[in-house]
Structure 1
């Protein structure tokens, strides 16, 4: 086999150490991929596959991307779950002997992206690490783009369910897994289907306690490590994650300098189905942000605020003190419109300090990004002054935490050009006047002609030689030329370098020094600029703690201001949050539906739930009347209240709930072969297993996926279980079409009937959207079918069948079997009517009613009447 070329030998040596990554191999201005990597990248990125001579008989398959626009290509690969290893030159080509050394500078994985162009500014990009031993799970979540690290421990029953609930609350892009977690057989499918995350299986050695504890000691303060060192599974989770980041990131992982330990008693439990059904961050149908709760609440002005708002929304609080602190801060802002609007205005233009600092710490931020940071600091003094006027404890804390950072702002503003170039290696970064030595070098570079002319003039005056000249050639460099007639006036310090026919050429030490300055000025200038820039970047990086604390305060202020603006714009009220078991709402509205209504007012409703005489509300009424909207709005208002927000109601008292569970709608899970009914029953089973008396349950149409009697029996059994204090006794809204269940109000303590008010005139019905006490007297199913546009002949036939069923003297099956099929004559007659109806519709569609004269309108009406 022919000998490989030196470059390809180098490639294979590096590739051998990175078999599980696509290797981006830097050659000049391109990142090149070879062999299988090239074929894969060509397919995934739609790149042209070419070839390169590598010393072998056949050319190596090859494709490449420009290094300056590589982010979009890498982002597409990472989005699909691939790892990308970046290989760069690690020595100066000018100083290299032979082939320039290359090595991996970073491995980019789905959970380790820091480039802003590859990230959603409104979402954290978490990587998770989960390790199980001794019936405990250590779990950590880290966003290396912001430096945040959250740690917890899971124990007790249903470890897999608890793990899945935690994973869904952080939605990591990449998960490191080890220990006994491999025994969770359905976890891989959950990660793939619900999270779309990539999984990295680590060895038990990589999760070894001693190694992981050492990794933590090298990363964090001693006191912080000591606070959790007895939690072995937790230490293993964090330590393995840190080691993984060290291997993939190589530098910059020191950005993660603190961690936050949390437990299940801090946050409300929201499982996957609840998050989906309540449409917290995206709609169920279109998977879009518009129409979700975060779409309504997000009036933030900074990327940091957007991420924090999402975190608050997905982690509602159980601690009343923290909830009240947020409420008081929002109240400050709601009550002072002028101050609130000034703060909102001041937040505009504050760039993503958290992610900018990550790039600075990693050492790959450019001068433009330092200017962005400088711009972000510009409004800090004003913001600090504005919020210092508020009295709430949270506002006082934010005032203390916001450091104006005037020294850092001044440093960047004084040193870095207003509009620097993208590259940090080609000059144009540092302002004139910042560094005297740099200014002198630049002067040499830019003013060489005038400097030489000045030297020539000085030497003429000094020697008295009128025809003395300063010149240059490539052999001798700069020289002084004196004609033979003036040789006797040449000073002793002149050094002869060349004799010509009619003149002599000399050099001086001063001229040689100037030559060195001029000829090397450009390279020295660029080098000096980069060195100065890098030093400024390090100074900023060394102030990470100050800047990070300020960034978190700004993010919190942004979220509070956003919630205050939403509350003010939509007439929300401050809820009374306490430890009672009550949920009492007056004139409550669905926040999102209300916002989407164009002009039409939202019909408000009251709510009364507790753990005593109003535990379960059975809600009956036709489809489309508003049952689901009503139930969802109760859940959303409770969630909003526990994240600290004001709520859409005229009055609200909310006793903290530990969980919200929803069973709303269902669809076949074809991937696992489960029917609609099976999916529904799985969800119900999950709810009755996990719910406590302090939970809020939203149960919509339990049992509808099977036969009437089976469904009714299941619905009643679930209802009895939920209402019974000895079994569960939780607060629940229970919507059903089984009107027979309304008798439960008289049979079970704590159950109350409610229905959606409907106004009926003949065959027409109007939904009043008002929840009133009592059970519904009719399902109005046929009327709803008519509203939905079902053909008249089906509506008419359905009424005939219903009439016979309701007047049947025997059981339903026998009565149903004895109903005669409709005659073909009726069918023909109805079809003719249908045809006429379609003709009328077509005629109306072709007419522009806005242009009709009164007489034309009368003629059209007469024509339509004849058609019918």
Structure 2
């Protein structure tokens, strides 16, 4: 984000010479120097001077000039009716936007119209539907530290979701930030000295140091207490109190004034506004949920899919999203982001899903009903902030009208969770009835211009509307009466927005105009008149209409306030509907895609016929695979060619655990799973050139996090550890990591590698076993079976994969020649090894199954033989054949090839 914009230079140079309006603009710029001020002038929001140049450039609008008695000013304006699209552009460019509205009626003011900042729009405090790009949560965070602990608070201003936690380690805080992905963060004093906040929150988050005063314990505690009561009873640490209090102050600061009449806006446009709809502050311990850090979220593609050649694929959430409403979508995200560790709660969700899978009629009925549920959390937020219109209230009433039918649909539920939802679904009947009785079925967007309140709701309003109607009816009858009285057939009675009601007579009939007509306006070929009686009726209609509109708005605000008073009950209802929606979605996915109910809580991973939930939807035929880890064998070394399915297999095991602990059924024939406390992933290659970190450095950093954070209840996915350096170094690191995880951590681990020497660890380490993905060759082409089997792979088929990718034949052929030469050289080198075990090539691991696509070797010393013989080459290749893992066809093909070469 840009640095504080500061007061414009024009103000500093000639503040005393400015016009009142420009003086007002520059004073607001000085007061809100951290924001770009948009200043209402009529139907436009204007920016001046340097801010105008920024707005014009970013929003691609014309830069104009304003000229007055004090000089010329650069000016750029955006239409108020379409402001959101331009504000979105400014937010994307890294600006906060302070909206300064006119808070007085220009028609009732002599001189300059008063303006005030009514709201400050920032990436993390959005509440406008047009700016919230999805139904997903949009969080703003606050981070503080006392040099001992870090406190983190997260708030979605649009829904009222409010969380707090703390940790001794900033890495643990970074993990939580990765879960919630806030769009914006404020940081308190001492944070800069303790850590790099930009690293904690990432490049996509706007991070700003904020007023130190609001982070003080007494100040923050008082603010938290004003919302939720004693902060010490809610929060576990002073740093949590400080973070929550500061975040509340910042949210109030950005809220500004409310919508409504000019006087109401003026009363509240002070830059602060209480968020009365915040009813719950949830303090949680990260250890209550399976931890999925930013690396795991990314590599497992839970919420965002990496773009491959510009093609965006599906994510896990996309695949599971059979939710019917926005409430369910956010709840689904939350359940996937924070899978449970409590077996009882997990089983409770599974039981509810199982009941819904078995009862198709109830499931389909619920889906139909939930489709009619509006976003209650954001609705009640707008209601409580005074920004809801009549249509919002009708949407709320429509949702409440669905609740009794939802309750009836699960009245006979047997699972504890569904039965509890039936008991606690609150239809808020009185709220619904008040809205339905008061607000018209199809009200206008504006709430200050009438036609909002139903006839019969208020006697005073009905009387005023009757006076208005009778007056307009008298005027409607006036045309016929006056035509008859004057004999002017072309005479007409009409209304003009500025001049009011009139009688129009063409010039050809001017001699027939009665004496009581008073000229009001002259046109090219006609005159417009009024009569004393018409003028009296017009005044009567205007007064009745104005009083009726004011009365309607007063009644509407009263209804809105009554609804706001029930915000806590509405939010509780929203949570229960969201839960039900996710359970129904889980049931729908399980029923339609053959998922099974997993058992959770054992000490082994035993998955039969497991599938990758995303990949199987994209492929015509997906090959299921088993996954079996026992308490005694928790570490699998997986070998096989690229594209054979190793990465997919590892990810599907992790996703199966995530789904199970989120409460979903899993894509498998059967599944028995432990409760996993954390999923670690070291998968894929990336670099940070700007940050000075190579691919290998990032790989090692992630590996260090795994080795320091994993426990015996963790699940670790390792893919090609050590590939960013030389073969010898990489193999040494891979072997050492294997030994450390096996001996010191004991976590469930899947390690995919092309270091075939690593499979020897299965012989040396009792808890390690090997798996490989089967392949076969047809007419010299490699065919991937995508099927996992015990044991190690015979080769990596790197050259064959290169050919499939389209590498020119000349390069492929040369690669095969070099590969044959290197294998032969390795054979002679093995025989000549001095001072080491020939079977282990001096590295402590066997070379009998050396990776075919890791060709970099140390140069032979001067005593190595000059060249291998043909017999040595054949002998080496024969020894390399892993007959135990080959299919009969593969063995026959290999033997035929060797025989052909001998014959030649």
Q: TM-score, normalised by structure 2?
A: 0.80
| Cα distance in structure 2, aligned partners of 1:122 and 1:402 | 22
State the SS of the aligned residue for 2:339: coil
Matches within 5 A, 1:473-552: 517-552=540-575
Give the one of 585, 595, 598 matched to 2:617: 595
Aligned to 2:283: 261
Aligned to 1:211: 219
CA separation of 1:91 and 1:661: change in aligned 2, threshold 3 A: same
Residue 788 of structure 1: CA displacement?
Answer: 2.3
Larger CA deviation: 705-714 vs 397-406: 397-406
Give the one of 698, 703, 711 matched to 2:722: 703
| Cα distance in structure 1, aligned partners of 2:599 and 2:438 | 52
CA separation of 1:626 and 1:444: change in aligned 2, threshold 3 A: same
| Cα distance in structure 1, aligned partners of 2:476 and 2:384 | 47
Give the one of 614, 619, 639 matched to 2:658: 639
Q: Does 1:88 align with 2:101?
A: yes
Q: Does 1:334 align with 2:351?
A: no
Aligned to 1:123: 136
Q: Does 1:607 align with 2:615?
A: no
Aligned to 1:172: 182
| Cα distance in structure 2, aligned partners of 1:523 and 1:414 | 23
Q: Does 1:742 align with 2:755?
A: no
Larger CA deviation: 617-626 vs 348-357: 348-357
| Cα distance in structure 2, aligned partners of 1:675 and 1:518 | 77
Task: Spell out, residue by residue over 1:242-282, the C-alpha distance to the aligned partner (whole angstroms, 9 max, x if none).
Answer: 11122221335122121111002211111211111101112
State the SS of the aligned residue for 2:288: coil
Residue 208 of structure 1: CA displacement?
Answer: 0.6
Task: Spell out, residue by residue over 1:34-69, the C-alpha distance to the aligned partner (whole angstroms, 9 max, x if none).
Answer: 122211111111121111124322x11111112222
Task: Spell out, residue by residue over 1:769-810, the C-alpha distance to the aligned partner (whole angstroms, 9 max, x if none).
Answer: 111111112222222222223233333332222222222354
Aligned to 2:7: none
Task: Spell out, residue by residue over 1:659-684, the C-alpha distance to the aligned partner (whole angstroms, 9 max, x if none).
Answer: 10111111232111222212211111
Residue 107 of structure 1: CA displacement?
Answer: 1.1
Unaligned runs of 5+ in 1: 456-470, 472-476, 479-505, 821-868
Aligned 8 A contact 1:380 1:403 in 2: yes
Aligned 8 A contact 2:761 2:768 in 1: yes
Give the one of 405, 418, 421 matched to 2:428: 405
Matches within 5 A, 1:551-566: 551-566=574-589
Aligned 8 A contact 2:150 2:170 in 1: no
State the SS of the aligned residue for 1:122: coil
| Cα distance in structure 2, aligned partners of 1:515 and 1:603 | 80
CA separation of 1:803 and 1:13: change in aligned 2, threshold 3 A: closer
Matches within 5 A, 1:95-244: 95-155=108-168, 159-193=169-203, 196-222=204-230, 225-228=231-234, 231-244=237-250
Give the one of 63, 66, 70 matched to 1:56: 70
| Cα distance in structure 2, aligned partners of 1:373 and 1:628 | 46
CA separation of 1:280 and 1:120: change in aligned 2, threshold 3 A: same
Aligned 8 A contact 2:471 2:540 in 1: no
CA separation of 1:440 and 1:517: change in aligned 2, threshold 3 A: farther
Aligned 8 A contact 2:288 2:340 in 1: yes
Task: Spell out, residue by residue over 1:147-179, the C-alpha distance to the aligned partner (whole angstroms, 9 max, x if none).
Answer: 110111212xxx221111111111001111113
Aligned 8 A contact 1:282 1:289 in 2: no
Aligned to 2:514: none
Aligned 8 A contact 2:379 2:396 in 1: yes
CA separation of 1:762 and 1:118: change in aligned 2, threshold 3 A: same
| Cα distance in structure 2, aligned partners of 1:449 and 1:355 | 40
Larger CA deviation: 122-131 vs 362-371: 362-371
Aligned 8 A contact 2:596 2:667 in 1: yes
Aligned 8 A contact 1:289 1:295 in 2: no
Aligned 8 A contact 1:126 1:142 in 2: yes
Residue 288 of structure 1: CA displacement?
Answer: 7.6
CA separation of 1:453 and 1:792: change in aligned 2, threshold 3 A: closer
CA separation of 1:271 and 1:519: change in aligned 2, threshold 3 A: closer
Larger CA deviation: 694-703 vs 175-184: 175-184
CA separation of 1:563 and 1:817: change in aligned 2, threshold 3 A: farther
| Cα distance in structure 1, aligned partners of 2:779 and 2:360 | 51
Q: Does 1:40 align with 2:54?
A: yes
| Cα distance in structure 2, aligned partners of 1:536 and 1:81 | 38
State the SS of the aligned residue for 2:774: strand
Aligned 8 A contact 1:144 1:255 in 2: no
Q: Does 1:680 align with 2:699?
A: yes
Task: Spell out, residue by residue over 1:4-51, the C-alpha distance to the aligned partner (whole angstroms, 9 max, x if none).
Answer: 111112222222211111111112221111122211111111121111
| Cα distance in structure 1, aligned partners of 2:538 and 2:828 | 115
| Cα distance in structure 1, aligned partners of 2:866 and 2:466 | 106
Residue 450 of structure 1: CA displacement?
Answer: 5.3
Aligned 8 A contact 1:668 1:674 in 2: yes
Give the one of 29, 45, 48 matched to 2:43: 29
Residue 411 of structure 1: CA displacement?
Answer: 2.3
Cα RMSD between the aligned structures? Answer: 2.7
Aligned 8 A contact 1:160 1:187 in 2: no
Task: Spell out, residue by residue over 1:691-736, the C-alpha distance to the aligned partner (whole angstroms, 9 max, x if none).
Answer: 1111110001111111111111111011111111xx2111100111
Residue 298 of structure 1: CA displacement?
Answer: 0.6
CA separation of 1:38 and 1:515: change in aligned 2, threshold 3 A: closer
Q: Does 1:19 align with 2:41?
A: no
Larger CA deviation: 727-736 vs 754-763: 754-763
Task: Spell out, residue by residue over 1:428-451, the C-alpha distance to the aligned partner (whole angstroms, 9 max, x if none).
Answer: 222233223222212222221656
Larger CA deviation: 567-576 vs 399-408: 399-408
Task: Spell out, residue by residue over 1:380-423, the C-alpha distance to the aligned partner (whole angstroms, 9 max, x if none).
Answer: 11111112221222112212222122322232223222322222
Aligned 8 A contact 1:753 1:774 in 2: yes
| Cα distance in structure 2, aligned partners of 1:388 and 1:31 | 54
Aligned to 1:389: 412
Q: Does 1:375 align with 2:404?
A: no
State the SS of the aligned residue for 1:284: coil
| Cα distance in structure 1, aligned partners of 2:338 and 2:476 | 73
State the SS of the aligned residue for 1:13: helix
Aligned 8 A contact 2:37 2:97 in 1: yes
| Cα distance in structure 2, aligned partners of 1:521 and 1:100 | 27
Aligned to 2:884: none
Residue 228 of structure 1: CA displacement?
Answer: 3.4
| Cα distance in structure 2, aligned partners of 1:18 and 1:134 | 31
State the SS of the aligned residue for 1:253: coil
Give the one of 725, 745, 769 matched to 2:786: 769
| Cα distance in structure 1, aligned partners of 2:293 and 2:124 | 22
Q: How many matched pairs?
A: 758
Unaligned runs of 5+ in 2: 1-13, 256-271, 479-492, 494-499, 502-530, 830-856, 869-904
CA separation of 1:532 and 1:290: change in aligned 2, threshold 3 A: farther
Q: TM-score, normalised by structure 1?
A: 0.83
State the SS of the aligned residue for 2:162: strand
CA separation of 1:131 and 1:74: change in aligned 2, threshold 3 A: same
State the SS of the aligned residue for 1:591: coil
Matches within 5 A, 1:764-843: 764-808=781-825, 810-811=828-829, 813-814=859-860
Task: Spell out, residue by residue over 1:189-210, the C-alpha distance to the aligned partner (whole angstroms, 9 max, x if none).
Answer: 45343xx111121243221101
